[in-house]
Amino acid sequence: MNDADLIARTLGGDQAAFERLIRRHFRALHAVVLAHIHDLDEADDVCQDALIRAWRRLAQCRDRDRFPAWLLRIGRNEARRRLAFRSLRRWVGLDEVTSSEMRQGPESDLERAEQRRYLLHGLARLRSRHREVVLLFDLEGYSHREIAQLLRVSEAMSRRLLSDARRRLREVLGDLEGKEGDDGPD
């Protein structure tokens, strides 16, 4: 059953059809949201909000064969809304920065948390389009053909963006590693 069929069934009141639809594209949504949010816990919340918004507005999805691109657009908009809200909260001093890596508990998770922090900081230095491509390809395993459809770019552009993103990310991660090494004890 293709996306258009699942959308039609969802609009007919079949919630299970919607669940099948969003599971099909969830990993892409998460990668794109994470590319904008840089915090795993917050990205999870934004994804959930985006899925609910997609359900509410599903009737407005005119080109049903391009549902994934439509869903990713909702994800990006939700992420931007969250970023604006976050900056407002910081501005009025309602909360401190609460990133997921700061809430890691057991020591066994510390190394993994450190790796997460390292990767997220590196990603934050890339352009959003580069982040989206590198996360879709390297984290979620999408092909260039699929990325091209999701992001509405050519396959050649997807390859180029991936190559640039990897090169830039390695540079940034190298810089971060160097700085952390300088800060450490002799």
Partner 1 sequence: MTDRIDFRPLADGRREDRIVGNAMQAIREKALQPADLWTGIASLAAPALVLAAMIVAVTFIRGGTLAPPTQTIEALVRPPAARLTGLGPSPAPAALLAVLEGM
Q: For binding to partner 1 (CB under 8 A), which residues are involved?
A: 15, 18-19, 22-23, 26-27, 30, 34, 40, 44, 47-48, 51-52, 55-56, 112, 115-116, 119-120, 134-135, 138-139, 166, 169-170
CA atoms within 13 A on the CB side of 73: 11
When the beta carbons of 14 and 185 are compared against partner 1, the nearer one is 14
- How many other CB atoms sit within 10 Å of the CB of residue 137? 21
Give the nearest distance from C-beta 152 to partner 1 in angstroms: 23
When the beta carbons of 90 and 170 are compared against partner 1, the nearer one is 170
d(CA 141, CA 96) in angstroms, rounded, equals 34
Give the nearest distance from C-beta 186 to partner 1 in angstroms: 28
Give the nearest distance from C-beta 150 to partner 1 in angstroms: 17
When the beta carbons of 152 and 175 are compared against partner 1, the nearer one is 175
Please return the burial class of 100, using the count of CB atoms within 10 Å of its CB with bins 0-12, 13-18 and 19+.
middle
Give the nearest distance from C-beta 10 to partner 1 in angstroms: 10
Give the nearest distance from C-beta 22 to partner 1 in angstroms: 6
When the beta carbons of 52 and 88 are compared against partner 1, the nearer one is 52
When the beta carbons of 90 and 178 are compared against partner 1, the nearer one is 178
